[in-house]
Amino acid sequence: MKPHDALYIDGAWRPAASRDVIEVVNPADEQVIGRVPAGGVLDVDTAVRAARAALPGWAATPPAERAGRLAALRDALVARADEIAETVTAELGSPPKLSQAVHAGLPIAVAGSYAELAATHPFEERAGNSTILHEPIGVVGAITPWNYPLHQIVAKVAPALAAGCAIVLKPAEDTPLTAQLFAEAVHEAGLPAGVFNLVTGLGPVAGQALAEHPDVDLVSFTGSTAVGRRIGAVAGGAVKKVALELGGKSANVILPGADLARAVNVGVAHVMSNSGQTCSAWTRMLVHRDQYDEAVELAGAAAAKYGDRIGPLVSARQRDQVRGYIEQGVAEGARLVAGGPEAPRETGYFVAPTVFADVTPEMTIAREEIFGPVLTILRYEDEEDALRIANGTVYGLAGAVWAADDAEAAAFARRMDTGQVDINGGRFNPLAPFGGYKQSGVGRELGTHGLAEYLQTKSLQF
């Protein structure tokens, strides 16, 4: 696609008031592949005003009609699937197969799920002598990250549209081209002008302006816990609703009796997918002391097979941060089993698939989110020790449990302080709520729970 040198506001591509631009870099070869406007405070205000003006009409649109627009949006994304995958590969560095299956395929499935939910969700219910109405919360400010550029957009925009809200989207500055493609699909789907608006820009400028804007009723943010805290403070000060999907340090608990080879190999694949740039990645593998050495050997062999099969990290800054964590792991006494801080290629922001053994829960690499292809393997003594280690983190986004049977794994999973747990290799479900406990966030995305975030309730007593 040719990048737009404009913002999508009130149903049209318009020049930004700001003259600043953002350069988009291909992380595989470090070449500039496009430039987009770095929208400023005035641009955000124009977009919010357009959303506010469009809100009454869209909120009053029958849910079945909203469902029809969402179905049209899904179809527009299907028609552009190849272009979406190519664009994500270009600006994120994701390998083409992953771009097709996940970065293009998953958002299409999520958009389709909300087309169905918009038509079937009970926006009214009865309780005794009351009628309870579920109404759109209003104007939504959506701030999305770069690691799953289209999925994170659709996971916010689709439920907001289904609910009857109007939206202003500020996508990550590293991956704005995918967001522009999405705006084109929205336009093709025939949404009324102003219902969806796109302002590309920098987080501390456009993102902050959107979070602070008095005419934004809900701020939905996905990204780092540090930025989430600031957005939560701003929204709390203005008494506006906030939805935060933040960091993770998820535990992959392998109980004695599990299929060790399968659990380790799937666990390594989970961490290396998307070059480790996944908030829900199982970055802490917990193994019983009797199986620990075998698990470490299996993990090292699995990681070594990846070689050049994983893509680069999104930026030089991200690459340097991940390398810094690897160096810190070595300095704190963890044992490198695979990979390391050395650059595997001269060009591009690549980091070698890395596995650490002899990791203790106190080490930095076991506590902080690295957001790169780095696995830490921790030893536990018994089930209670495994639970203590698994829950001994400020995060609680995801996790996995492997056991001899599903019932044993599920019993352990019920005791984990985390938002979702995969049992013996259970697959991601786009209809299930996604979100975290503790510092992993506030609120849920996907399915009916994701729709509920964009609704507010009113009761009528008769």
Tens-place pLDDT, residues 309-330: 899 999 999 999 999 999 999 9
Question: Of 91, 173, 212, 245, which residue is the catalytic one?
Answer: 245
Q: What is the average pLDDT score of the chain?
A: 97
Q: Grade residue 375 by pLDDT with cuts at 50, 70 and 90.
A: very high
* pLDDT (tens digit per residue) in 123-182: 999 999 999 999 999 999 999 999 999 999 999 999 999 999 999 999 999 999 999 999
CB 157 within 8 A of CB 141: no
Q: Which residue has the tokens 């990681």?
A: 303
Q: Is the pLDDT of residue 44 over 80?
A: yes
Q: Grade residue 1 by pLDDT with cuts at 50, 70 and 90.
A: low
Q: In the beta sheet, which residues pair with residue 284? A: 251, 376
CB 359 within 8 A of CB 366: yes
Which H helix or E strand runs over 75? helix 63-79
Dihedral of CA 220/153/373/254: which sign?
Answer: positive
* pLDDT (tens digit per residue) in 279-309: 999 999 999 999 999 999 999 999 999 877 8
- Looking at residue 175, its pLDDT comes to 98
What is the percent of the chain with per-residue pLDDT over 90, rounded to a whole number?
97
- Looking at residue 236, its pLDDT comes to 87
Beta-carbon contacts of residue 356 (< 8 Å; ≥ 6 apart):
329, 334, 335, 336, 337, 365, 374, 375, 376, 377
Phi, psi of 249 (to 5 degrees): -145, 65
- Looking at residue 2, its pLDDT comes to 66
Phi, psi of 417 (to 5 degrees): -90, 75
- Looking at residue 283, its pLDDT comes to 98
- In the chain the domains, ranked by start, together with CATH numbers, are 7-246+440-461 (3.40.605.10), 251-429 (3.40.309.10)
Question: What's the predicted TM-score (pTM) here?
Answer: 0.97
* pLDDT (tens digit per residue) in 341-363: 998 999 999 999 999 999 999 99
Give dist(CA 197, CA 446) in Å, integer. Answer: 21
Beta-carbon contacts of residue 280 (< 8 Å; ≥ 6 apart):
248, 250, 397, 398, 420, 434
Give dist(CA 20, CA 429) in Å, integer. Answer: 40
- For the question of residue 245 being annotated catalytic, the response is yes
Question: Of 165, 212, 279, 408, which residue is the catalytic one?
Answer: 279
